[in-house]
Chain A
């Protein structure tokens, strides 16, 4: 049918099929600012447009409904003053992280301010609560809207100055505009989907309907003969190569237990076949024509089932070890039918008993420690599967260009993508280029190669441009989730509260494949146990295969669950001792100068060693929380008898990358006009890493941010970086950029010396881009020009390569106050304060934004987020309508983040990591606060109303 309407001020005539949504039509018309994250369900708000001036979800409007009406997308506003004011305010208030939701937010704010020039908090929440943002935690949106409203009525309005750190530095510790914010806030080309040409072919994946089944027959003949079909891949014709999808340093501590298409499917949604066709419709039609005969097996749907004697075996192929020998008593000979499992080195595993990996170690003598205790408690905690839910799902565009395979990817690990895809496709690494585009949220899930292997292979064998994008349902069931875990904690203490022994036993559910199977559960231990000083501590970790959705990396990487168990157990111990829980933590926590012996047994894949801490901010952070919550006074009275108030406090930690394992590199070139091009290997996934590297380089070189462009995460253009995971961005990639800038600085001075006729020791660099000596000076522009004109030094390029053995632990103290209704089981988070010691905050507002976002995510995990499965292993809630993620309506009433700067002697300008740690506090803080309110311990996460009523004995 033909419709006519006004689009961005211009009359449009469009032909559209009946039933087409407005979103689909606008995307066909090239409106790239119209994003989507829920596949037309209407639950994410990312396809917001203005319909006759009002914000609407364009996926819920039929194209036919806009006949004769006025539609505005963000593309309309290039120079509009009010819109520029809104966009600038969002950038200034650090509301642009990954930027995938930003166009929708901009339009919703525009709609709000056109109706209500000075909205209050509830009007702001009402206007924005229909848009999901997984990065920011929403709080800074309020500040942005107030700023926009004030500037709209008074263009000369100047807000009160923000908090700054490190007064002696020009950029570091001060808020500066995020380098990619302007592009993102304008909704311009930035993401993989914006780079896909119209002739790109489409991949449609056929997923398994069964949790555990052999593929006994697969007939693709009908599908292959269908119009537009270019290739069909199955277990019969995919490369016969085993690999892990984990983008970890090679050799990986994850088994190679996956082929591109398995002979045996191991979870609902597992790969059965992929169709490549000219159009999406053709690919979908052909996918439906593939006939598969399954031999259905009994599924393993829990840790208890996985370890039960006689349990169905999930991986029954040959087991081998590249180095080292199989653990004694484990099976290595397969059934001759299943795909092999190959370990790079032994992980104390036994796949034929569903044990993917295990570890145990400790210090001291726990038996003696418990024998010497006056009190012993033992408690078990359970934490279920959650989804990181990046709003941009896994997506990739692959093509062959100049006889090389080029992948435009939404990834955290460009170099691991290159290594893994090159091996699968059968190419040397120089034949593969990976370009990391802006990433619409990663949170760990994009540390795995989930779509790049299939797309890369199909592009290479068909020589066609190939686009592959997961649906939201696939993102839930077939990307990566947080491992479910069951953790038992045994604590022994003297009567005065001093710990005598700690024993943590952890079982993890790694799902059908073993990516991150050891490292995630180990991190649950290594980021919780070292917070407490105890001479006798021991842990046992076991990671089991099951037939539930694949687990993997997710912000926190196991630590949130270890923290939930150990911190809650400490509060339970305090209750048993009749002590204040915070006093007990104070007595047993690490502090400045502590020697952390337990780290001897927690080496990341190698021998560990005890670490003596430098400065630790925990004492000051606890003191600040105590004061803010009047901790030593009785808790506040509830005005409503149905709601009971409780408080909880926890201490948390993380790392800053992996000492001795991670490496980052950067290169910086002085250009002929005296500006600089920074080539960083770091993968900015919306966190602001490119801004951080630009700032440290500008600081070192005496330049402004406007003088530096950052190119990052491109395997052709930039040097190697391990990728963005393990909280390594600021510390590793940031330090590499600083080292590169310092190297360039030394080269600039060396090149200036003969030109100025002065010795290098008399020369110094001054702002902005000058080398100054005793007698004269020369500009960077002159030096840059001369260096490429065949005179002097040659092109001036600085290199930075960073590795370290130094462990920079960020610490935090989180305080929560909740109101719990014991009649309904509802929990309201009234107050949440996060105090974080992140070393020097390089970008204070962006750092806070990441903490707000992490905390709100973890409140969601703690209170309502949970992937639910039926008895056949099918996920019951793989969509935002049924899997609740926090919106602006769920903000705590008093939500505070405070940065506690503590210098780290190795990090760039003293920086440590900031974001990942902040997901570790909410679960134990809320569990402790709920207990304080209603007197029952909730030991299973999330703390749903039903679990709370059950704990109260009401069900």
Chain B
């Protein structure tokens, strides 16, 4: 079954304000950017480093309002997207 997919641009070394772009698909009819979430995650960064995965998941969930369909319930998609985002951001941090 299709799971939410997406990508995040940034963070550059050190999570500076305005440097994070988050775009996710699979949560609605088309892929969308989440500027408020970008700000929330940036605001929660301490000393330019990412918050832990659990915090990102917690922050993210309230920004996603997917619809239930044959591919999954709204709550499943919300959680799945939050985990995906947390994993992606941490993987990028490791690379950068």
The digit string for B53-96, where 1 denotes a CB below 8 A from any CB of A, is 00000000000000000101101100110011000000000000
Known: A864-B1, A945-B76. Contact between A823 and B83, CB under 8 A? Answer: yes
Q: Which residue of A lies closest to B71 (CB)?
A: A882
Q: How many residues of A contact B (CB 8 A)?
A: 15
Inter-subunit contact B3/A945 (CB<8 Å): yes
Q: Which residue of B lies closest to A866 (CB)?
A: B1
- Chain B residues contacting A864 (CB-CB under 8 Å) are 1
| A954 CA / B73 CA spacing, docked (Å) | 13
With an 8 A cutoff between CB atoms, is A158 at the interface? no
| A43 CA / B73 CA spacing, docked (Å) | 25
Chain B nearest CB, measured from A535 CB (Å): 45
| A954 CA / B75 CA spacing, docked (Å) | 9
- Chain A residues contacting B73 (CB-CB under 8 Å) are 946, 955
With an 8 A cutoff between CB atoms, is A196 at the interface? no
Q: Which residue of A lies closest to B70 (CB)?
A: A876
With an 8 A cutoff between CB atoms, is A118 at the interface? no
| A949 CA / B76 CA spacing, docked (Å) | 8
Inter-subunit contact B70/A954 (CB<8 Å): no
| A868 CA / B70 CA spacing, docked (Å) | 7
- Chain B residues contacting A946 (CB-CB under 8 Å) are 72-73, 76
| A824 CA / B85 CA spacing, docked (Å) | 12
Q: Which residue of A lies closest to B86 (CB)?
A: A823
| A825 CA / B80 CA spacing, docked (Å) | 9
- Chain B residues contacting A242 (CB-CB under 8 Å) are none
With an 8 A cutoff between CB atoms, is A884 at the interface? yes
Q: Which residue of A lies closest to B74 (CB)?
A: A955
- Contacting A at CB under 8 A, from B24-54, are none
Which residue from B1, B70, B79, B84 sits with its C-beta under 8 Å from A955?
Answer: B79
| A737 CA / B3 CA spacing, docked (Å) | 52
* B interface bracket (residues with beta carbon within 8 Å of A): 10 to 19
| A224 CA / B89 CA spacing, docked (Å) | 64
| A954 CA / B76 CA spacing, docked (Å) | 9
| A825 CA / B75 CA spacing, docked (Å) | 13
| A864 CA / B71 CA spacing, docked (Å) | 11
Chain A nearest CB, measured from B71 CB (Å): 8
The majority secondary structure among interface residues of chain A is loop
- Chain B residues contacting A954 (CB-CB under 8 Å) are 79
Inter-subunit contact A944/B1 (CB<8 Å): yes
Q: Which residue of B lies closest to A942 (CB)?
A: B1
Q: Which residue of B lies closest to A823 (CB)?
A: B83
The digit string for A860-883, where 1 denotes a CB below 8 A from any CB of B, is 000010001000000011000010
- Chain B residues contacting A825 (CB-CB under 8 Å) are 80
- Chain B residues contacting A884 (CB-CB under 8 Å) are 1
Inter-subunit contact A824/B70 (CB<8 Å): no
Q: Which residue of A lies closest to B80 (CB)?
A: A824
- Chain A residues contacting B80 (CB-CB under 8 Å) are 824-825, 945
- Chain B residues contacting A882 (CB-CB under 8 Å) are 70
Chain B nearest CB, measured from A868 CB (Å): 5
- Chain A residues contacting B75 (CB-CB under 8 Å) are 955
| A211 CA / B36 CA spacing, docked (Å) | 45
- Chain A residues contacting B1 (CB-CB under 8 Å) are 864, 884, 944-945
- Chain B residues contacting A955 (CB-CB under 8 Å) are 73, 75-76, 79
| A944 CA / B73 CA spacing, docked (Å) | 12
Q: Which residue of A lies closest to B53 (CB)?
A: A823
The digit string for A912-924, where 1 denotes a CB below 8 A from any CB of B, is 0000000000000
Chain A nearest CB, measured from B55 CB (Å): 14
| A667 CA / B72 CA spacing, docked (Å) | 55
| A884 CA / B1 CA spacing, docked (Å) | 7
Chain A nearest CB, measured from B5 CB (Å): 13
| A627 CA / B84 CA spacing, docked (Å) | 38
| A824 CA / B1 CA spacing, docked (Å) | 13
Chain B nearest CB, measured from A840 CB (Å): 42
- Chain A residues contacting B83 (CB-CB under 8 Å) are 823-824
- Contacting B at CB under 8 A, from A806-828, are 823-825
Chain A nearest CB, measured from B51 CB (Å): 16
Which residue from B3, B70, B72, B76 sits with its C-beta under 8 Å from A877?
Answer: B70
Chain B nearest CB, measured from A718 CB (Å): 45
The interface centre, meaning the residue of A868, A944, A955 with most chain B CB atoms within 10 A of its CB, is A955
- Chain A residues contacting B3 (CB-CB under 8 Å) are 824, 945
- Chain A residues contacting B70 (CB-CB under 8 Å) are 868, 876-877, 882
| A868 CA / B68 CA spacing, docked (Å) | 13
Chain B nearest CB, measured from A890 CB (Å): 13
- Contacting B at CB under 8 A, from A8-44, are none
Q: Which residue of B lies closest to A875 (CB)?
A: B70
- Chain B residues contacting A824 (CB-CB under 8 Å) are 3, 80, 83-84
The 4 closest A-B pairs by CB, nearest first: A876-B70, A946-B76, A868-B70, A955-B75
Besides A825-B80, A868-B70, 10 new A-B residue pairs in contact (Cβ under 8 A), listed by A number: A824-B80, A876-B70, A877-B70, A944-B1, A945-B1, A945-B76, A945-B80, A946-B72, A949-B76, A955-B79
Mark A residues whose CB is within 8 Å of B. 823-825, 864, 868, 876-877, 882, 884, 944-946, 949, 954-955
Instruction: Pick 6 A–B contacts, CB within 8 A, sort by A.
Output: A824-B80, A864-B1, A868-B70, A945-B3, A945-B76, A946-B76
